[in-house]
Amino acid sequence: MTERSFSEVLDDVERNYWEITENIARAAEKSGRKYEDILFLAATKTVEPKVINHAVSLGLKYIGENKVQELLSKYEEYDLKNCDLQFIGHLQTNKVRQIIDKVSMIQSVDSVKLANEISKQSVKNSLVSNILIEVNIGREENKSGVLAEELEELLGRVSEMPNIKVRGLMTVPPICEKKTDVCKFFDKMQQLFIDISAKKMDNICMDYLSMGMSDDYEEAVLSGANMVRIGSRLFGRRIYR
Ligand SMILES: *Cc1c(COP(=O)(O)O)cnc(C)c1O
């Protein structure tokens, strides 16, 4: 196996970055929007801060980690003057206080219990936390996210909590072999997003629909996503240790 040198890795990231931004721009235009309307968030798990910061130097504005421990260990090295750090993974209630003052949004809230803890820690830290509600749109067992029919009740409960603000919805759809299958899940999410927006619930904003990853971000944008979360397509395939 050949190791790529660090500068080759950076070159790859650079090439990938421009390719992805072009693809996002094209999908945005096809769906009647502009590149600037779609937030490109890089999923940075297992990626060294130096490599992440190279992408930031190219113009990347949003990064997302999915493990608390990893986020904390990399925290001092992120270029947070030039990008915005979010949390996108499953979050245990007892770890909320470790990241509450470090992230601009928690994308993966799927229970009253977790929302309550975020609210409590936000009050303690005198800040307002932005969150997305994660929806288990494929109704998969053992997967994070609320079921579609539980969404409104959860939104109602969260809307009454202090110092926490719902800004939209997020999903990780089931792995599908065919693009047309994953599109069905994206379309369901778009419909939910539109339905909830139309209800104009107190304290609930539907600013962001976060869906689409390396293999399907263009389809997600065509189905109304305005935030995509891309890891391997940008940084190369992950080597899990
Ligand atoms: C890793 C990750 C992504 C990106 O996945 P890729 O397939 O590498 O693009 C998106 N969302 C979440 C929550 C992730 O953990």
pLDDT in tens, 12-25: 999 999 999 999 99
Q: Give the per-residue pLDDT at 225.
A: 98
In the block, residue with structure tokens 């798990």 = 45
CB 148 within 8 A of CB 193: no
The alpha carbon of 213 and the centre of ligand 1 are apart by a number of angstroms equal to 6
Is residue 90 very low, low, confident or very high in pLDDT (cuts 50, 70, 90)?
A: very high
Measured CA to CA, the distance from residue 26 to residue 130 in angstroms comes to: 29
Measured CA to CA, the distance from residue 163 to residue 235 in angstroms comes to: 35
Residue nearest to atom 10 of ligand 1 (CA): 229
The alpha carbon of 112 and the centre of ligand 1 are apart by a number of angstroms equal to 24
The alpha carbon of 44 and the centre of ligand 1 are apart by a number of angstroms equal to 8
Kindly tell me if the per-residue pLDDT of 241 is higher than 60.
no
Measured CA to CA, the distance from residue 60 to residue 181 in angstroms comes to: 30
Q: What is the pLDDT of residues 28-59, one digit of tens each?
A: 999 999 999 999 999 999 999 999 999 999 99
Measured CA to CA, the distance from residue 109 to residue 126 in angstroms comes to: 20
CB 136 within 8 A of CB 145: yes
Residues with C-beta less than 6 Å from any ligand 1 atom = 43, 45, 66, 88-89, 172, 213-214, 229-233
Q: Give the per-residue pLDDT at 17.
A: 98
> How many residues belong to the chain?
241
Cα R_g (the chain), whole angstroms = 18
Measured CA to CA, the distance from residue 221 to residue 214 in angstroms comes to: 12
**Angle subtended by helix axes 112-124 and 151-159, to nearest 10:** 20
- What is the number of the ligand 1 atom nearest to the C-alpha of 217? 9
Q: What is the pLDDT of residues 96-143, one digit of tens each?
A: 999 999 999 999 999 999 999 999 999 999 999 999 999 999 999 989
Q: What is the pLDDT of residues 199-214, one digit of tens each?
A: 999 999 999 999 999 9
The alpha carbon of 231 and the centre of ligand 1 are apart by a number of angstroms equal to 5
Domains of the chain: 3-231 (3.20.20.10)
The alpha carbon of 230 and the centre of ligand 1 are apart by a number of angstroms equal to 6
- What is the number of the ligand 1 atom nearest to the C-alpha of 214? 9
State which of 24, 66, 134 you would mutate to test the pocket of ligand 1, scoring each by most atoms of that ligand within 8 A of its C-beta.
66
The alpha carbon of 127 and the centre of ligand 1 are apart by a number of angstroms equal to 27
